[in-house]
Chains A and B, each alone.
Chain A
Amino acid sequence: MFGSKMKQKRIRRNIFLYLFLVLFSLTTLFPLLWMVSTSLKSGDIIFEMPPRFLPDGFHGENYTRAIEEINFFVLFKNTAVITFFHLLSNVFVSAIVAYGFARFDFRWKNFWFLLMLSTIMIPGEVTMIPVFIAFSELGWSNSIKPLVIPGFFGGAPVFIFLLRQFFLAIPRELEESAVVDGANSFKIFYKIFIPLSVPALITIGIFSFQGSWNDLMGPLIYLNDTDKFTLTLGLSMFKGMMKVEWGPLMAGSILALLPVLIVFFLAQKHFVEGVKLSGIKG
C-alpha cells in the first residue's frame, strides 16, 4: 500500500519535471532552429505574410551569398589567426605564472598574489583608451598586434587563479622523484604539471577561445580595413542597415558560430570535468 503511494507520487513528480524540462528546452532551441530555418529560406518567403516556420525546401544560396558578401574565408582566417595566438598565450602564460605562484616560495609572494587578484576588479574600460592611444602612437593600429601581444604578458588573472588552485592539489611526491633524477623546475613543469592538468587547461582553453572568437570591442577599435576584419566585426557591419537581408545574414551568423559549437562538443567531456575540478563554483 505505502509503496505504491510513494511510486504514484514519484511518477507525478517526474511528469512535472519532464513538462518543465521540455518547455524550457523548446524555448531555448526554438530561436536557434528559427535561425537555421531563416538561413535556408529563399529570399521571397522570408518576408511572406503570414510568415512560415519551415523553409520551402533547401536553399543553399543564402550561404553562398553570405560567403561572398562578408568575404567569409578572409575574415575566417583573420579570426582564426587572432584566436590562435590569444589562446596559446593565454593558456601557456597563465599556466607558467600559476606554476610560479603554486610551487615556489619567494619574498613578497603573497603581496604579488593579492595584487594580481585585485586586478580582476579593474575594468578594462579605464585602461582601454590609454592603451589604444599608446598602440596608435606605436603605429600598431589597423594590425593584429594590439589584439595579440598583450596576451603574452601575464595571461588572465582568473585563469592564473584557477590553475594555481589546480596545481596546489598536485601531490609534491610526484615532483620529488623527478628532482632526484636531476630535472630542473621547467622540466617538472612541462613533464608533470602540464600533463596532469589537461582538463583544467582545456576548460581555460575553451573560455579563452570563446572570448577571443566572439570579441567585438578589440577588433572594432583597432581594425579599419575590411580585409583585416574578424567575423564578429564583419557581421556587426550589418547592424545599421535599414533593409536587412535576413537570409544571408543568418547564414553568415551560423557559419561564424559553428567553430565554437564544434570545439565545445569535441571538448565537452573534459570541459565539464574541468569546471568541477577547477572549482569555479567559488
Chain B
Amino acid sequence: MRLKQNMGYVYIMPWILGFFIFTVAPLGFAFYIGLTEWDTFTSPTFVGLDNYTALFKDENFLKALWVTIRFAVISVPLGIATSLLIACLVNSKVRGVSFFRTALYLPAVVSGVSISLLWKWILDKDFGLINLVLSKFGIEPLGWLSDPHLVLPSYLMMVVWGAGGGMLTYLAGLQDIPSHLYEAAEIDGANMFQKFKTVTLPMLSPVIFYNLVMGIVGAMRKFSDAYIIGGAGNEGRFYMVYLYENAFNYLKMGYATAMGWILFVIILVLTLIVFKFSSAWVFYSSEVNKKTKKGK
C-alpha cells in the first residue's frame, strides 16, 4: 500500500513539475510584470497599477475589447445553432450520409493559416470568389475586409462555414438519445419541430452548454486567423492581436501582461455568468434519476 502511494506520485510527477515551472512560477512573475514598465532590454520599472488605468483610457484597447466581445456574443450561438442543424441532418439514416458527414466535417480538419489565407483570397474585393458569385446576380463588388461595416459579417461567414467541424459532439449526443422518447412524443402527436423542442434540445442541453462555455473562451482568445486576415483598421483587430502587437512589436511587456490578466478575468466572468444561468435550461438526465430514486 505504501509503495502504491509513492508510485502514484511518480506517475503524476511530470505534471506536478510542469505545473510549478510553467504555471505557478509564470503566474507569479506575470503578476509582477503587470505592475511594471518593461521592454526586456533595460530593467523593469515598477509603476503600480498604471498599466491597468492606462488601458482603460486606450481607445485601441477598448475597441479591440468591443470587437472581440461582440464577435463572441454573436458568433458562438450562431456557430452552435449551425453545428446542431448540420448534426441533425447527418444523423438521419439515408443513403450516402457518410459522404456528407465527411464533407461537412472537413473545415475542422483543414483549419489553420492555409484556410485563413484562403478566406483572405475569397473575400478579396476585386477578384474574390464571393464578389464573383455576387456579380452573377448583378451586385456591385463589396469590400468585405475594407468596409468597416462588413468586417464582422465576414468573420461570421467564416464561423458558419466552419460550423460542420463542430458537429461531432452533437452527433454523439444525438445518437445517445433513447428512441423511446421520440416514440412517446409521436404517440402524443408531436410533429418534427415539437419533437426537436421537447426531446432533442433538452437531451442535448449538457453538450450545448459545454460547447457554449468552450466557444466563448475560444472566441475571446481568437488569434491566428484574426492576425492573418485582419480587417479595415480597428474593426478586425481582435483582443489577442492587440496583445501580441503590444508585447512583441512595441515590446511593452507590462502593458501586454496587464491585458492578459484582464482577458483572464473577462473569460472567468463570462464563464461564471453562463454557469449561473445554466440551471434554468441545462437538463441532466442523471439528476432526474437521482430525484426519482430519492422519491421512492
For chain A, residues 114 to 164, give those with C-beta under 8 angstroms from any C-beta of chain B.
Answer: 115-116, 119, 121-123, 125-134, 136, 150, 152-155, 160
CB distance from A122 to the nearest CB of B (A): 7
- B129 — nearest CB in chain A belongs to which residue? A34
For chain A, the bracket of interface size reads 35 or more
- Cβ contact of B223, chosen from A30, A122, A217, cutoff 8 A: A217
Most buried by B among A38, A253, A272: A253
- A206 — nearest CB in chain B belongs to which residue? B109
- Cβ contact of B30, chosen from A14, A119, A130, A154, cutoff 8 A: A130
Taken together as a complex, chains A and B put the C-alpha atoms of A260 and B112 apart, in Å, by 10
Segment at the A interface, from B10-18, B54-62, B72-80 = B10-18
CB distance from B6 to the nearest CB of A (A): 7
A239 within 8 A of B: yes
CB distance from A87 to the nearest CB of B (A): 16
A31 within 8 A of B: yes
Taken together as a complex, chains A and B put the C-alpha atoms of A175 and B126 apart, in Å, by 65
Q: Contacts A24-B104, A123-B264 known; A116 to B118 CB distance under 8 Å?
A: no
Looking at chain B's contact residues, the main secondary structure is: helix
Q: Are B7 and A152 in contact (CB under 8 A)?
A: no
Q: Are A104 and B7 in contact (CB under 8 A)?
A: yes
- Cβ contact of B207, chosen from A119, A275, A282, cutoff 8 A: A282
Q: Contacts A38-B121, A51-B127 known; A153 to B22 CB distance under 8 Å?
A: yes
Q: Are B9 and A106 in contact (CB under 8 A)?
A: yes
Most buried by B among A31, A236, A254: A31
* Chain A residues whose C-beta falls within 8 Å of the C-beta of B30 in the assembled complex: 126-127, 129-130
Q: Are B127 and A257 in contact (CB under 8 A)?
A: no
Q: Are B19 and A119 in contact (CB under 8 A)?
A: yes
For chain B, residues 227 to 256, give those with C-beta under 8 angstroms from any C-beta of chain A.
Answer: 227-230, 240, 243-244, 247-248, 253, 256
Q: Are B206 and A282 in contact (CB under 8 A)?
A: yes
- B114 — nearest CB in chain A belongs to which residue? A253
Kindly supply a per-residue 1/0 record for chain B positions 167-209, scoring 1 wherever the CB is within 8 Å of any chain A CB and 0 otherwise: 0110011001000000000000000000000000000001101
A280 within 8 A of B: yes
- Cβ contact of B169, chosen from A130, A136, A238, A280, cutoff 8 A: A280
Q: Contacts A21-B100, A31-B129, A239-B120 known; A154 to B110 CB distance under 8 Å?
A: no
Q: Are A27 and B15 in contact (CB under 8 A)?
A: no
Q: Contacts A46-B127, A125-B264 known; A264 to B18 CB distance under 8 Å?
A: no
